[in-house]
Copies of this chain bind each other. A is one copy, B any other.
Amino acid sequence: MINCKTNQFLEDLHHYVPGQSIADIKQKYQLNQVVKLASNENPLGPSVVLDEIKESIDAERYPDTTGLALRQALASQLTISPDNIVCGNGSDELMTMLSQVFLNSTKSIVTADCTFSVYEFVASTCGAKTIKVPLQDNTYDLGAILDAVDDTTSLVFIANPNNPTGTLCSHNEIELFLEKLPSNVVLVLDEAYIEFANESVRPLASQLLHKYPNLIVLRTFSKLYGLAAYRLGYAMANAELIQLINKVKPPFNVNSMAYEAGVKALEKSEFIKKSLHVNEKGKQRLYQFFNELELNYEASEANFIYVELNRSARDFCNECLKHGLILRPLTSFGRPNAIRVTIGTESDLDFFETVFKSVWKV
């Protein structure tokens, strides 16, 4: 029995519940075909394969500390400076680093009550409190979030589009929010899915960050670019805020393959176009499918759809698993009767519709 005193807040820590893996479900139910629409991965596969980068990797060498080549490529695409960018081992790690810079047991964060759970997780690892503001019409209620900000608030986390509801706050809404947000509170705008959102409405991060030194925008290569296995994310902000993160950044936090693949991925305009096209087509098809079943869903600005089943999502998803379909019940998000479906390819959705219908009717 270990009797070293651990940090007290560990006891309240809610761990993230990951999606189940295809291999596990194949083995468990002895299935040949399993379709996973549970983790919002790119159904077309990765934008970059290992063959494209293997020549440039010195696997025995430590990675570049700051990922300069990737920061330069990103900077030129985003028309900002490399000094406005820091890379992370997935955007999750950037959230951890933000918590190390700004949070402790006397601080708190404000976010929504039904959103990505890692915000609360990283706050908890520092002993900070999480204030959860209810969504309004499945959308971040920016007014109520402002009201919830108090003297202890250091960070506000907004997932935009929101995971799991797929709803978006527009450029104007975010700018208005930043105008009203006390300047000693940092807005962490998590844009993991932003590339899927309506271009005419979504925030222009690169414009906003020159105006608001308390804004930091997080992006990932795990979704549109299909590189979840590599672990690569980045943050954009005022150079001063980036410097603060660099203070706590571990020296070799991102692996060399991720840096190389990231640079290559930015050049894959055809892959990106195709991914967006497949997503749009699949979205319309799923809307129609849920309409036919008279199920309530949320119009999505991302690569997944939030659907209300009016029955136990856990039970429904467990039944689907037996047929080789992995979906995400939103029980851990506080919505026990709702699921999140990643938008798949045409053949993924053929399979999805068949399994869904048969389980739905049982």
**Residues of A that sit less than 8 Å from B by CB:** 1-7, 10, 13, 15-16, 18-19, 21-22, 36, 39, 41-42, 44-46, 48-51, 53-54, 57-65, 89-90, 92-93, 96, 100-105, 118, 121, 125-127, 154, 183-186, 213-214, 222, 226-231, 238, 240-241, 244, 246-248, 250-258, 261
Report B-chain residues with C-beta under 8 Å of the C-beta of A93: 89, 250, 253
Q: Across the two chains, which residue of chain B brings its CB closest to A46?
A: B59
Report B-chain residues with C-beta under 8 Å of the C-beta of A61: 21-22, 36, 39, 41, 228-229
In the complex, what distance in Å separates the CA atom of A59 from the CA atom of B185?
Answer: 36
Which of B101, B154, B240, B257 is within 8 Å of A10, CB to CB?
Answer: B101
In the complex, besides A10-B101, A36-B61, A93-B250, 18 extra interface pairs with C-beta distance below 8 angstroms are: A3-B214, A4-B102, A6-B102, A10-B247, A41-B61, A41-B62, A42-B60, A45-B60, A46-B58, A49-B59, A50-B257, A61-B228, A89-B93, A89-B253, A92-B252, A118-B250, A228-B252, A230-B257
Q: How far is the CB of A210 from chain B (nearest CB, A)?
A: 13
Interface pair B1/A240, CB less than 8 Å apart: yes
In the complex, what distance in Å separates the CA atom of A127 from the CA atom of B100?
Answer: 10
Pull 29 A–B residue pairs with CB atoms less than 8 Å apart, ordered by A.
Answer: A1-B240, A2-B213, A4-B154, A6-B244, A15-B251, A16-B250, A18-B65, A18-B251, A21-B61, A39-B62, A41-B62, A45-B60, A49-B59, A59-B229, A60-B226, A62-B228, A62-B229, A89-B93, A89-B231, A89-B253, A90-B252, A100-B126, A104-B104, A118-B250, A228-B252, A229-B255, A229-B256, A230-B255, A231-B252
